[in-house]
Amino acid sequence: MMSPISLLSALAIYIFSVLAVVIYARRRTGKGLEEFYIGGRKIRGFISAMTYAATTYSVFMMVGLVGLAYAYGVGALGFELTYLMTTLILLFIFAPRYWVVGRKLGLISPAQIFSERYNSKYVGAVMAILSLVFLIPYMSIQVMGSAYLLDALSRGAIPYFWGATFIVVVMTICALLGGFRGVAWTDALQGLIMITTSLALLAFLINQLGGLTSFLSKVEANYPNLLTVPGDGFFTFQTFLTLTLPWAFFALSNPQVSQRLLIPKDKGSLKVMVIGFFVFGFIYTLVSVTFGFIARAFDITAEKADMAMPLLLQSYVPPLFALIVLIGIVSAGVTTVNSIMLTLASMVGSDIYRPFTSKHSERKEQAIGFVVILAEAFLIWLFALMRPGLISLLAVMASAGLLVQIPSIIGGMYWRKGTATAAILSMLLGATVTALLYVLKVKILGFGPPIFGFLTSLAIYICLSLRGPKSDFVDKVNQWLREAGFPF
C-alpha cells in the first residue's frame, strides 16, 4: 500500500514541476491570439511531436486499452494499430494542407479553415458547437479515470472528490496561465513521463514473470482464445468497424489535434512532428496492449476490465514504483484535457465570437477565451463529481459525434463543388442521428450508431453539393502547396 505521505509528496513534486514549466513558458510567450493559442507558429519538431502525441494519448491507453486487451485479447491491438496507421496516412495527406492554409490566411482554429473554404461563418460556428457538446463530457472522463486511480491506489487516502479537484486545478493552470507554449512544453515533459514510466514498468513486470519467453508461454497455454480474433466473440466485423471508424478519422475530426497541424515552425518541424508522433504512438500502443496480457499472465481477476491496471499496480509493483507509474497515467489525462480546453477556448473566440460581432478586438477575444477555460473547468469538475451514466454515454458518443464532420472536411479540401448548406446540414443531421441511436441503444445489422451517423452525413453532403457552384479554394491551396515545395 502506498503511504499517504509518499503519494502527496509525489503529487506535490509533480505539480511544482508542471508549474515551473508553465511559468517559464508564460514568460516566453509574446502578445496576441496567435501567440497564446498556437505558439506563434514557431514550435519546433520535437515539441510539436510530443504535444501531438500527449494530446492524442489519454488515460484510455493505460486504463481502457489495457482493459480491452485483458478482456478481449489481440483484437485490441488491431483496433489501436488501425487508428495509428490511418492517422499516419491522414497526416501525410492533410498536414501540409492545414499547415499552409493556416499560414497563408493567418488562422488559429481548424474550423476557421472551413469557414473560409465554404465562405460561411456558420460552418465554423457549427463545428465549434459540436466540439463543445461532445468534448466537454469526454474531458470529464479523463478526470474521472485519474481520480479513480488516485483513490484506489491510495486506498482512500486521496478521496475521489479531492483527486478530481486536484486534476482539474492542474489542467486549468496549464491552459490558463501558460497558453499554448505552457501546454506544449508541459505536454513534452509529461509525454516523456508517460513513455518512460510505461517502458520501465513493462520491463519490470516481464522480469517478474520470468522473462519474455516465460510470459508468452503462460499466455499461450492459459489464454489461447485471447490470441485469436474474434476471440470470445467480441471483435466481430461489425463491432470492430463500429469502434474503429470514429478513431480512424480522429486526426481530422478532433480539433485539439488538427489545430496542432498549424503550429510547426517550418516544413522540417512538420515532418518531425508526424514521424515523432508515429514512433511514440507505436511504442505506447504495444506497451499498453501488452499490459493487458501481463495482467492475465499474473492471473489477475478483475470484475471490470478497466480495473486490470490498478490491480496490477496494487498487487505486483512496489509502492514507490507504482507511484511513479501513477504520475505517468495522471500525466496522460492532464495533457489531453488542457490541450482540449485551450482549443475549445480558441474556437469560441475565433469561430463564434469574432464572426458574429461588429466590434471585435483581440483583447476582448482573449478575455472571452479565459472565461471559456474557467467555464470548461467548472463543467468538467461538476460532471466528474456527478458520475452519472449519461455523461459516460456522451463520452462514448464523442468521437462518433465528431465523425460527422469528415465529409465536410475531406470534401472541403478536395471537392470543388461542396457547399456551405451541405456542410452545415450534414453535420447537424448526422450528429442528431448518431445521438438518437446511442440514446435509444439501437444497432442495425450489428452495426453501431457511428456507422449510420457517418453515412447520413456523407449522403446529405454529397446530395446537396452536386448542383452547387464550384469553389476556387482547392485550386488556391494546391498553388500554395506548390509554392511551399509540397507535392499534392
Share of the chain above pLDDT 90, in %: 51
Euclidean distance between CA atoms 81 and 103, whole angstroms: 32
Give pLDDT, residue 96. Answer: 96
Angle 138-143-372 (CA atoms, 0-180°, nearest 5)?
A: 65
C-alpha separations of 266 from 38, 103, 399 in Å: 14, 10, 30
Give pLDDT, residue 142. Answer: 82
Question: Where is mean pLDDT largest: 163-177, 301-315, 345-359?
Answer: 345-359
Question: Where is mean pLDDT largest: 193-202, 333-342, 381-390?
Answer: 193-202
Nearest alpha-carbon partner for 349 in 367, 327, 335, 333: 367
Give pLDDT, residue 262. Answer: 96
Structural domains in the chain, CATH included, are: 4-393 (1.20.1730.10)
What average pLDDT score do residues 245-268 get? 93
Euclidean distance between CA atoms 295 and 289, whole angstroms: 10
What average pLDDT score do residues 202-219 get? 94
Give pLDDT, residue 392. Answer: 47
pLDDT category at 362 given cuts 50, 70, 90 is confident
Instruction: Work out whether the CA dihedral 419, 420, 421, 425 comes out positive or negative.
Output: positive
Q: Does pLDDT of 469 surpass 80?
A: yes
Share of the chain above pLDDT 70, in %: 97
What pLDDT digit, counting tens, does each position of 267-285 carry? 999 999 999 999 999 999 9
Q: What is the CA radius of gyration of the chain?
A: 22
Rounded to 10 degrees, the C-alpha dihedral 475/480/486/487 comes to: 10
Give pLDDT, residue 287. Answer: 95
Q: Does pLDDT of 255 surpass 60?
A: yes
- Residue 55, all three cell numbers: 494530446
Higher pLDDT, 124 or 237: 124
- What is the reported pTM? 0.91
Residue 208's Cβ-count burial label (10 Å; 0-12, 13-18, 19+) is middle
Give pLDDT, residue 6. Answer: 76
CB atoms within 10 A of CB 476: 15
What average pLDDT score do residues 44-62 get? 88
Q: What is the largest CA-CA distance in the chain?
A: 70
pLDDT category at 468 given cuts 50, 70, 90 is confident
Side chain identity at residue 349, one-letter code: G
Q: Does pLDDT of 232 surpass 90?
A: no
Euclidean distance between CA atoms 94 and 270, whole angstroms: 11
- Residue 458, all three cell numbers: 456523407
Euclidean distance between CA atoms 306 and 310, whole angstroms: 8
Question: Where is mean pLDDT largest: 21-25, 204-208, 327-331?
Answer: 204-208
Spatial neighbors of 173 by CB under 8 A, at least 6 apart, are 18, 19, 22
pLDDT category at 3 given cuts 50, 70, 90 is low
Average pLDDT, the chain: 89
